[in-house]
Amino acid sequence: MKIFRVWRPLLCGLALATSSAVFAQTAHEGFEREVRSVLSPLTGQAIAAYTVVHLDAEHAPWTDSGLTLAAGDRVTVLLQGRAWLSRHYDISLEAPLQVWRRIGDDGRITRSIDATDTFTADRAGPLQIKNLPLRWLDPQGGAQESGVRGNPDGGGGVSIALIRWSPQANIGAALATLARQPNAPAWAAPALARLQTPPSAPDGWTYLWELGPAEIFRETRATGEDGGPTRRMHAHTRNDVAILQTSADAPLSPDTELRWSWKVDRLPGRSAENTVITHDYLSIAVEFDNGQDLTYLWSSALPVGEVFRCPLPGWKDRETHVVARSGAADLGKWLNESRNVWRDYAQAIGGEPPKRIVRVWLIANSVFGRGEGQAQFGNIRLGAGGRDSFAW
């Protein structure tokens, strides 16, 4: 009996992985049948070529999709499925977060932000795809893999359809026609909507390349009647993640301060954010010229002043968290914050201090608990001695 108790979790995990693999394969076959039935009649007309590929949840090298692109080619991406990191903890990545692409061996990597996407090739070459590694090492797709193979608690997989349109094709009209059919494919209307509203970052900001694009942040101007700043950056995260960055060139000295205003209406996490499975949060951060970053988060449960290194394996050596606010008592209120960055760096990271702050970040993550978070930021300042080196 003791032997059985020891092996039971593993046996259950293996059974889950086996059933997950069977389900993923069945789902892919259904997806491929539908895609081919819809697209085959259009091939040679609006569609120049298409392919359907399946990626399992295992980390694998870059894979040739079967499509070779010319610069200027337009490609629609359709995604389905998810990769399970842990069924026990109910943690998975949906296809848009899991599937990455590049053109050629040295093309810049990117991904879709939802299950449908249309992009224009910026260069010629074979279109390659890959699932998410432990950490991207460079914008051309060098990767650090986890080394984990055959995780019995994981499984799943994602299906990818890639449509290369003919140069003369009116993609909007083709998708609109498909969406109006009596038995229209579920992806046709969303693909048309995404084509009409491509994602973009707020002016002066960019999304961190290694997490990919998003639609989490947007800038607005307000009257300030609620006591908040007139220029605001809104964050709304739902089962997604993004880091929004803007350049800053501020010397780090003993009196350097980061000041900002924020109003957090909803926290994406429900428990302490210092573990991998609960690391959903909203924060503002500064990046230094030595590659380290210091992020000030509003925690759901950790005490103010708590300091911890990022629990994610790909981030633990470069990111440190400081709890600036905690709990639900002040949710929905505009609050003004001020932190001495020099002192926080010395206490939280230590060692030789960096010379400069090079970027300001806004972070929103809700992928682990698949929750929802909402906040606004404004009046962001970096300076020392009464003079600001950065202001937003």
Q: Note the pLDDT tens digit of each residue in 61-79.
A: 999 999 999 999 999 999 9
Q: Note the pLDDT tens digit of each residue in 171-199.
A: 999 999 999 999 999 999 999 999 999 98
Copy the structure tokens of residue 314. Answer: 């790909």
85 and 162 housed in the same domain: yes
Share of the chain above pLDDT 70, in %: 91
8 and 77 housed in the same domain: yes
269 and 227 housed in the same domain: yes
pLDDT at 20 over 90: no
Confidence of residue 27 (pLDDT cuts 50, 70, 90): confident
Q: What is the CATH number of the domain that holds 50?
A: 2.60.120.430
Helix/strand/coil percent split, the chain, to 5: 20, 40, 40
Share of the chain above pLDDT 90, in %: 83
Does some domain include residue 368? yes
192 and 214 housed in the same domain: no
- Per-residue pLDDT, averaged over 219-232, amounts to 87
213 and 361 housed in the same domain: yes
Taking the whole predicted model, whether its pTM rises above 0.75 is answered as yes
111 and 242 housed in the same domain: no
Does some domain include residue 201? no
Query: Residue 328 and residue 266: Cα distance in Å, rounded?
Result: 9
143 and 270 housed in the same domain: no
Does some domain include residue 84? yes
Q: Note the pLDDT tens digit of each residue in 274-288.
A: 999 999 999 999 999
pLDDT at residue 22, rounded to an integer: 55
Q: How far is CA 230 from CA 64, 204, 221, 223, 310, in A?
A: 48, 17, 5, 6, 32
Phi, psi of 154, rounded to the nearest 5 degrees = -105, -135
Confidence of residue 146 (pLDDT cuts 50, 70, 90): confident
pLDDT at 17 over 80: no
171 and 283 housed in the same domain: no
Residue 369's region, left for phi above 0, alpha for psi from -120 to 50, else beta, is alpha
212 and 191 housed in the same domain: no
Question: pLDDT: is 18 or 89 the higher one?
Answer: 89
Domain boundary among 127, 162, 196: 196
pLDDT at residue 15, rounded to an integer: 43
Residue 109 in contact with residue 117, Cβ under 8 Å? Answer: no
309 and 171 housed in the same domain: no
Query: Residue 334 and residue 136: Cα distance in Å, rounded?
Result: 36
Does some domain include residue 371? yes
Domain boundary among 155, 173, 196: 196
CA angle 156, 162, 168 (to 5 degrees): 165
Number of domains in the chain: 2
pLDDT at residue 25, rounded to an integer: 67
For 43, which DSSP code? B
Residue range of the domain that includes 360: 206-391
Residues in contact with 49: Cβ distance below 8 Å, sequence separation at least 6, in sequence order: 43, 67, 164
Residue among 307, 331, 330, 305 at smallest CA distance from 319: 307
